[in-house]
Structure 1
Amino acid sequence: MERRQLGRSGLRVPVLGLGTAGWDTSLHLDTARDLLTGMLDHGSDLVDISPTSPGNTAEALLGELLESTALDRHELLLSLSSGYDPDAPAGRRVDCSRRALLSQLDASLRQLGTEYVDVWTIAAWDPATPITELSATMDLVLSSGRARYVAVHGFEGWQLALLAGKREEPLPSACNYSLLEHHADEDLIPAAQYLGSGVIATRPLALGVLASPRGQGVRSPEAHAYDSEHARTVVDAVSTAAQGLGTSPASVALAWAVDRPGVSCAVVGVRNPRHLSDVLDASERRLPRPIRAALDDVSGAAGRLNVRE
């Protein structure tokens, strides 16, 4: 699988990584093992441990896998987020104070059974936490060996620039990015390109909306946010492109996302063999220019950025 530099950092990442947002108690340990080894066998070692996994199921499963298999921890690029608690009451789910971040990170490391993660991500912007405290906490985590790199998620361009001004090294940034959600083109990605921050695309399938032909299939309650006439038009275009290319809509949508300027890689939820097949197909696929241009046009992304050639 292709690997890219994560911005101007020294870290090289696979173009598509394994996301665990859909890993819940219904996912069998053997299935999780097969998915992880399937990605590794095709050159993708990036595993993103989602902060929204119910009851930290993803952490528990990965911890079991690391303990029960012959898998070498050093073969993996583990990415972990802190600062967001999906089980907390509404209005108190984001807490990026030093106390909360370190407490959550240390608990995650214990459950995973590892001393460090490769990329530690601040899960959200917290206006209640001073930027100096946030930067100092990042320094502490790096100097203590708990993480090799630090990153942020969901920041606006000005927020990234504000924090980057306190840092000596480029600060990778993750954001929701897909054919249905690409407002980052207007703000975050130009800022990230200027600052040398690699961009990690999350939700590249828009919570599965882009993965099903003609938008059919099981969706999470959160996916209804993408329920609009515009979204249906985009989904139809993706399905048409997939039929013409002889592949799945998910493969088309993923190939589009990782082909966008400034995007170093994308993290996609994988919880069954079909998902794995889509990811592996997309990692080897380059959309023909006319199809890419048509998708840019129908999604409203045309002309916003200079497309990677």
Structure 2
Amino acid sequence: MQYRLLGRSGLAVSELCLGTMTFGNTTSESDSIDMIHRFLDRGGNFLDTANVYVSGRSEEIVGKAIQDRRSEVILATKVRFATAGHPNGVGVSRKHILDGVEASLKRLNTDYIDLYQVHVWDHATPIEETLRTLDDLVTSGKVRYIGCSNFFAWQLMKSLATSDWNRYVRFISIQPQYSLVSREMDREMLSLCLEENVGVIPWAPLGGGFLTGRYTREEPNSGRLTAKAGESSWAIRANEQNFAVLDAVLHAAKELDKTPAQVALSWLLQREGITSPIFGASTLEQFEDNMGAVGWSMPEPVWKRLDEVSSLPSEYPNRFIAKFARPF
């Protein structure tokens, strides 16, 4: 396992991050703890959870698994979504953040959170209030670093500018959806992260399972893609462009003697600007498959083929700007 600095910080994280959204739900507690221990034993140190995953059960399991190895773990969790039925039980107001961090610390059985992330932008709360509260948490020692997730590029830039102007702590990372079948952040977000040195830790790097090779053009009757709505739904994934990408992944997997999941993850690991893809697993077999993405490098011609087949169409203003690019 190799390590990379997370954004504009000295925090070293493993090149893969273990996501825990299924822990306590489709993944049993015993298997979840086993996965975490296997991950740590192989050099992984980056774990991602959230206060709403399985109504907090995921955080409890993570806390139990790392209680004797806390110092070697970079522990990330999130706040934003509803955790109570009253009006102040949602968002990133000062009240909800402070309530949320105390509840997460208790469930995680720890004194501090390494990376505390805003799960999605909150239009109801001024960003100054959110960032001042997060800055206070870093000053207090309950949080070490802060990040965000599911932001527009303008929202991230406004946040960074607000932090700089007020001398608040900055977001060092963003957690967006990003994969060979979901490259929307190529339009603006990825270039912004490169410019501002913001780490990128993608979720759904396998497209909700679409890139594992288990799906054909027939609508599935099992798995995450049976969802009727949301990002991991058949309606979103099942289109000819994505099937062309999947065909390329399957071809590359056969050529390289790797599994489709390993190919899809390896492409991300070699993508400029990507720090640590977050992979999840419902079973130990899936975990072992995903871990096979490290320890080897995809040949450049294969990487380029996957990049080309999955790239976004030429769009304004990118094509206009490229036309007038300076030759030096």
Same fold (TM over 0.5): yes
Unaligned runs of 5+ in 2: 319-328
Alignment of 1:262-277 (within 5 A): 262-277=273-288
- Greater mean deviation of Cα atoms: 220-229 or 187-196: 220-229
Structure 1 residue 85: deviation in Å? Answer: 3.1
Note the aligned Cα RMSD (angstroms).
Answer: 2.4
Amino-acid identity (%): 29
* DSSP-derived class of the 2:292 partner: helix
Structure 1 residue 104: deviation in Å? Answer: 1.5
Superposed CA offset, 1:211-248 (max 9, x none) = 13454762241422222222222112211211221111
Match of residue 254 from structure 2:
243
Residue 96 in structure 1 maps to residue 96 in structure 2: no
Match of residue 4 from structure 2:
4
Superposed CA offset, 1:102-161 (max 9, x none) = 211211111111111110001111111101101101111101111110011111111111
Report the Cα distance in structure 2 between the residues aligned to 1:88 and 1:300, rounded to whole angstroms: 42
* DSSP-derived class of the 1:57 partner: helix
Q: Output the amino acid matched with 2:116.
A: W
Match of residue 202 from structure 1:
203
Alignment of 1:143-158 (within 5 A): 143-158=139-154
Q: Output the amino acid matched with 1:219.
A: R
Q: Output the amino acid matched with 2:163.
A: R
Report the Cα distance in structure 2 between the residues aligned to 1:86 and 1:259, rounded to whole angstroms: 37
Structure 1 residues 129 and 251: alpha-carbon distance in aligned structure 2, compared to 1, 3 A threshold: same
- Corresponding residue to 1:226 among 233, 237, 243: 237
Structure 1 residues 234 and 85: alpha-carbon distance in aligned structure 2, compared to 1, 3 A threshold: farther
* DSSP-derived class of the 1:13 partner: strand
Report the Cα distance in structure 2 between the residues aligned to 1:296 and 1:24, rounded to whole angstroms: 35
Match of residue 82 from structure 2:
85
Report the Cα distance in structure 2 between the residues aligned to 1:111 and 1:84, rounded to whole angstroms: 17
Alignment of 1:23-102 (within 5 A): 23-67=23-67, 71-85=68-82, 95-102=91-98
Contact map agreement 2:79 2:100 (CA 8 A) in 1: yes
Report the Cα distance in structure 2 between the residues aligned to 1:4 and 1:302, rounded to whole angstroms: 30
Report the number of matched residues.
300
Report the Cα distance in structure 1 between the residues aligned to 2:251 and 2:186, rounded to whole angstroms: 25
Match of residue 269 from structure 2:
258
* DSSP-derived class of the 1:254 partner: helix
TM (norm. structure 1) is 0.89
Contact map agreement 1:94 1:124 (CA 8 A) in 2: no
Contact map agreement 1:214 1:236 (CA 8 A) in 2: no
Superposed CA offset, 1:11-37 (max 9, x none) = 111110110112233433321121011
Report the Cα distance in structure 1 between the residues aligned to 2:182 and 2:22, rounded to whole angstroms: 19
TM (norm. structure 2) is 0.84
Contact map agreement 1:35 1:271 (CA 8 A) in 2: no
- Corresponding residue to 2:118 among 111, 117, 122: 122
Residue 161 in structure 1 maps to residue 134 in structure 2: no
Q: Output the amino acid matched with 2:69.
A: D
Q: Output the amino acid matched with 2:99.
A: S
Structure 1 residues 87 and 133: alpha-carbon distance in aligned structure 2, compared to 1, 3 A threshold: closer
Structure 1 residues 302 and 279: alpha-carbon distance in aligned structure 2, compared to 1, 3 A threshold: farther
Match of residue 307 from structure 1:
none
- Corresponding residue to 1:137 among 133, 136, 139: 133
Residue 280 in structure 1 maps to residue 291 in structure 2: yes
Report the Cα distance in structure 1 between the residues aligned to 2:119 and 2:76, rounded to whole angstroms: 11
Superposed CA offset, 1:224-273 (max 9, x none) = 22222222221122112112211111111111112111111111112322
Superposed CA offset, 1:156-183 (max 9, x none) = 1111111111225552211111001111
Superposed CA offset, 1:52-96 (max 9, x none) = 5222221121233245xxx2211211001111238879x999611
Q: Output the amino acid matched with 2:152.
A: E
